[in-house]
Amino acid sequence: MPKNAPESSLVGEEYEVEVGPVAHGGHCIARTAEGRVLFVRHALPGERVVARVTEGDETSRFLRADAVTVLDPSKDRIEAPCPYAGPGRCGGCDWQHAKPGAQRRLKGEVVAEQLRRLAGLTPEEAGWDGTVVPVEGDKLPAGEVPAWRTRVQYAIDADGRAGLRKHRSHEVQPIDRCLIAAPGVSELGVENRDWPGMASVEAIAATGSQDRQVVLTPRPGARLPLVELDKPVSVLRVEEKDGGVHRVHGRAFVRERADDRTYRVGNGGFWQVHPKAADTLVRAVMQGLLPRKGDTALDLYCGAGLFAGALADRVGDQGAVLGIESGKRAVEDARHNLQHFDRVRVEQGKVEQVLPRTGITEVDIIVLDPPRAGAGKQTVRHLASLGARRIAYVACDPAALARDIAYFAETGYRVRTLRAFDLFPMTHHVECVAILEPAAKGS
């Protein structure tokens, strides 16, 4: 047992187990001979493994564990391409040990299970064929890793070395290269220099421009180092007092490209991490909504205005788009990005507070791309009351999506189609686009 562990702790205990189905969160479920539930990482369904407990005690509802020895491997298992993947190492990737096709099947099983458990829907009832679709260029042979991550937040250890955090830990795994980092991130060489006094360094490589940026978060009282990287880069700093992001030198923003439009994204603000994600999601949303000239539309949790811009293009001068976003800088970016559209407005604030104040009582189409927690019952009820003929729900968390789909069902909306995209290869994350419509249309 590790030092300082409570007497009832089971950390370090090992169990030989048969691995069961995949679960939401990048692990599989197993049971010990005594019936204890284990959430096992680095395992695959059907394997027999020795699992070492990493979290939990005698009173825990379940234990977390790592598969430290594989006794009977799955046919889907490969040797992890990344030397930092595996028990006790980097927590960034969940499925390096699985063939790419198997990773997508596992993600599909998770989405299906969340739909069944939280929304009471089969894939067929959700208009989904059960597949998780790879993005063009990411379908690689086993053992090869797509370099897709255009934004990487490196943690800095006490010695100033850059790395990534271990799973569910503040401990830093120093690395010399992240395999899933996009070329524009890797070429900065963040891992090859020391970062004294820094807590984290986020590296950003824009899609569709050569803009590169690092966002430095100093430890309390630390001075900013002189930043000399392998490529030209803008530098931003997170202030200790207010958490605000301020420009040190270079541009305060990067230019991203999607749907034949350039978007300014400032101060390390949110943008889809996969270089093809923005175009992939815009295409899926517009194919599902089928906007018409003259439509009124909402873009909720609109960020820098990606979907609002795409909607504005398609509803034309007679249509109108309202975006709502809580982040002050993101709203400034959205207003800048959409300034050429006379019939687009962007309001700042939380959706559940701003939307009722607008006085809007009906709209034609809605896009919502909420944070990981989902939109929630109150917001779903308000949206349903607006009578939109179609609603596009973009979701990075299948559990939140399924919960909100159930709330929509209570208000008379059904899922017309659902599509799932593998925009985060090697991790357990999956992006879904659900198109909803009034249930009466589908009857």
- Phi-psi region for residue 117, left (φ > 0), alpha (ψ -120 to 50) or beta? alpha
Which tokens sit at 84? 């930092």
Which tokens sit at 198? 């820094």
How many angstroms separate the CA atoms of 173 and 156, rounded?
A: 9
Pick the catalytic residue: 82, 93, 302, 396?
Answer: 396
For residue 250, the tally of other CB atoms under 10 A from its CB is 17
> Is 178 part of the annotated catalytic residue set?
no
Kindly list the catalytic residues. Answer: 396
